[in-house]
């Protein structure tokens, strides 16, 4: 069995015209547009796949560890219906025993597969099952063992190892995301391996820029140790960041990434910034002071980007680790992050006053607050040269989420003030599926514009290519 290059073959669970318009005229246009982009290489400029997979190129252990345990989209839905994370084999950091039999995990997953009806997760999973493993029947309790066996046999073949799948998926470049203290050992091993696949890192400094991050002060001290800088001082702390950014660039980084509870930015005087730094590293900062420091660091990172060329990504608005019990037992990023209301116009003004008109800088904004699309984000991106809008993210990386984004943002911001698509995933098999969904939605939207005589078909063809490939490659300097 060899995985096929996407798009997926014709399948009952992945029909060829899925997500294209129902109207025959628009569907015909969309099909022509989609046929022109379906086989384009995948540019995946922001994600969370494990670089160790590509460095070691070991076989994936079993179907459950490929599809269930690494994917918070999967286990958060099951958790919401009372399926315990322990029963799903999710590793517990507190030593709680969890299910160790991957077949039992898979059977539980399959028995609850109906919970994903109507969700993007269902689209991604069905696509992967059909394209990679030739499954043509919806997963359920009755066929769980047969599906498990088919996938498990395939995973033992060389064609299903990470590097082979990377090629089969048509990935041109993929960015992983590592913390500022990471030694990048897997990227170093990749660089020494001679493999031609392009896997780059991304600089994620939250652990040393967010005073509310667990272990923040120890993390700042460690930052000083690994850079030989005095991070007890403001000047030394900033220089340590510059050194780490340069280190990440040596392993291909073209961007930094910042996941923050708010979009607040600040542009304090050097003296005030230094006083604030001493407060958060040695004193007892208030919640407002911690938030102010995060905002100041966004502006500092933007200034560093002017020097070293890294694209600045801002992912605000997630109230992370909302479920205290899940956080205590399983740790961060376990499906318990919840969107919150986010202000952009006032919050970003200090940053934009400082660097918003810089044409050499790219700041990519994401949101988990859809109410800001037409009111704030589209007008901001439609004016400031430094700003680009990231695609619908996380909870809104979905059919309806993408449609709402286009309806509310494109008329004001335009297509070319957006950054194309990125998949933002930890689940490796979902990458081509996510890009395929995005390409279909883009083509459906463009077809409607052509059918309404708001766009000529040759323009739509150019835009489809840009949305699927060119815009992300340009925005992320890849």
Q: Please tell me whether the overall predicted TM-score, pTM, comes out greater than 0.85 for this model.
A: yes
Q: Say whether both 346 and 388 belong to one domain.
A: yes
Residue 149 sits at the vertex; the CA angle it makes with 145 and 151, to the nearest 5 degrees, is 115
| Measured distance CA(58)–CA(168) in Å, rounded | 16
Percent of all residues in the chain with a pLDDT value above 70, rounded to a whole number: 98
7 pLDDT higher than 80 = no
| Measured distance CA(470)–CA(314) in Å, rounded | 21
pLDDT computed for residue 5 by the predictor: 52
User: pLDDT tens across 385-404, in order?
Assistant: 999 999 999 999 999 999 99
Q: Is residue 15 part of a domain?
A: no
Residues 4-27, mean pLDDT to the nearest whole number: 78
pLDDT computed for residue 334 by the predictor: 76
pLDDT computed for residue 9 by the predictor: 46
Q: Say whether both 245 and 117 belong to one domain.
A: no
Is 82 exposed, middle or buried, given 0-12, 13-18 or 19+ CB atoms closer than 10 A?
A: exposed
pLDDT computed for residue 26 by the predictor: 97
Is 160 exposed, middle or buried, given 0-12, 13-18 or 19+ CB atoms closer than 10 A?
A: buried
* Mean per-residue pLDDT of the chain: 95
| Measured distance CA(151)–CA(145) in Å, rounded | 10
Residues 208-237, mean pLDDT to the nearest whole number: 98
Which of the 8 DSSP states describes residue 339?
A: E
374 pLDDT higher than 50 = yes
Do residues 21 and 30 touch, judged by C-beta distance below 8 A?
yes
The distance between the two most distant Cα atoms of the chain, rounded to a whole number of Å, is 67
pLDDT computed for residue 219 by the predictor: 98
6 pLDDT higher than 90 = no
Do residues 429 and 66 touch, judged by C-beta distance below 8 A?
yes
User: pLDDT tens across 269-284, in order?
Assistant: 999 999 999 999 999 9
Which of the 8 DSSP states describes residue 142?
A: T
CATH number, domain with residue 64: 1.10.2020.10
Q: Is residue 13 part of a domain?
A: no
pLDDT computed for residue 333 by the predictor: 79
Q: Domain boundary at 155, 184, 217, which?
A: 155
Q: Say whether both 44 and 144 belong to one domain.
A: no
Q: Say whether both 235 and 330 belong to one domain.
A: yes
Give the number of other CB atoms < 10 A from CB of residue 408.
18
pLDDT computed for residue 254 by the predictor: 98
Q: Say whether both 168 and 140 belong to one domain.
A: no
Q: Which domain holds residue 92?
A: 60-155
pLDDT computed for residue 225 by the predictor: 98
Considering its fold, how many domains does the chain have in total? 2
Residue 171: φ, ψ to 5°: -80, 125
CATH number, domain with residue 417: 3.20.20.140
Q: Which of 399, 338, 403, 415 is nearest to 369 (CA)?
A: 338
Do residues 464 and 443 touch, judged by C-beta distance below 8 A?
yes
In this structure, what token pair is assigned to residue 413? 């911001």
Do residues 247 and 178 touch, judged by C-beta distance below 8 A?
no
Residues 3-20, mean pLDDT to the nearest whole number: 69
pLDDT computed for residue 8 by the predictor: 45
Q: Which residue is it, tokens 């299903």?
A: 160
């Amino acid at each position: 069995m060899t995985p096929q290059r996407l798009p997926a073959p014709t399948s009952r669970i992945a029909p060829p015209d899925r997500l294209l318009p129902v109207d025959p005229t628009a569907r015909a246009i969309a099909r022509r547009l989609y046929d022109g982009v379906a086989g384009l290489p995948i540019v995946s400029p922001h994600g969370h796949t494990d670089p160790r997979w590509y460095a070691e190129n070991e076989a994936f252990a079993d179907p459950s560890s490929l599809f269930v345990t690494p994917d918070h989209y999967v286990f958060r839905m099951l958790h919401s219906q009372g399926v315990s994370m322990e029963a799903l084999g999710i590793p517990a950091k507190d030593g709680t025993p969890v299910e160790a039999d991957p077949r039992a995990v898979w059977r539980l997953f399959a028995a609850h597969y109906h919970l994903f009806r109507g969700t993007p997760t269902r689209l991604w999973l069905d696509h992967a099952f059909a394209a990679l493993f030739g499954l043509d029947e919806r997963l359920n309790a009755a066929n769980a063992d047969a599906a498990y066996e088919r996938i498990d046999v395939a995973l033992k073949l060389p064609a299903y190892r990470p590097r082979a799948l990377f090629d089969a998926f048509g990935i041109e470049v993929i960015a992983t995301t590592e913390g500022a203290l990471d030694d990048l050992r897997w990227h170093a091993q990749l660089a020494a391996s001679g493999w031609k696949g392009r896997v780059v890192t991304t600089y994620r400094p939250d652990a040393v820029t967010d005073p509310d991050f667990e272990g923040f002060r120890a993390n700042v001290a460690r930052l000083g140790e690994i850079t030989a800088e005095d991070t007890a001082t403001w000047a030394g702390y900033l220089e340590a960041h510059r050194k780490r950014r340069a280190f990440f660039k040596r392993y291909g980084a073209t961007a930094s990434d910042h996941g923050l509870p708010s979009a607040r930015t600040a542009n304090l005087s050097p003296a005030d910034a230094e006083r604030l730094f001493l407060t958060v590293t040695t004193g007892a900062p208030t919640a407002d002071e911690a938030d102010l420091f995060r905002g100041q660091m966004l502006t500092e990172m933007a200034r560093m980007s002017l020097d070293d060329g890294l694209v600045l990504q801002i992912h605000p608005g997630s109230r992370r680790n909302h479920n205290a019990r899940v956080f205590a037992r399983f740790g961060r990023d376990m499906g318990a992050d919840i969107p919150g209301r986010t202000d952009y116009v006032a919050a970003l003004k200090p940053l934009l006053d400082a660097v918003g008109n810089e044409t050499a800088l790219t700041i990519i904004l994401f949101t988990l607050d859809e109410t800001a699309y037409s009111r704030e984000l589209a007008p901001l991106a439609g004016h400031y040269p430094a700003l680009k809008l990231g695609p619908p993210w996380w909870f809104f990386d979905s059919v309806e989420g993408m449609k709402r984004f286009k309806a509310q943002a494109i008329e004001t911001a335009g297509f070319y003030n957006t950054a194309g698509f990125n998949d933002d995933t930890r689940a490796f098999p979902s990458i081509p599926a996510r890009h395929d969904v995005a390409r279909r939605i883009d083509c459906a939207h463009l077809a409607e514009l052509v059918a309404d005589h708001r766009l000529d078909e040759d323009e739509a063809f150019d835009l489809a290519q840009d949305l699927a490939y060119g815009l992300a490659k340009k925005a992320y300097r890849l």
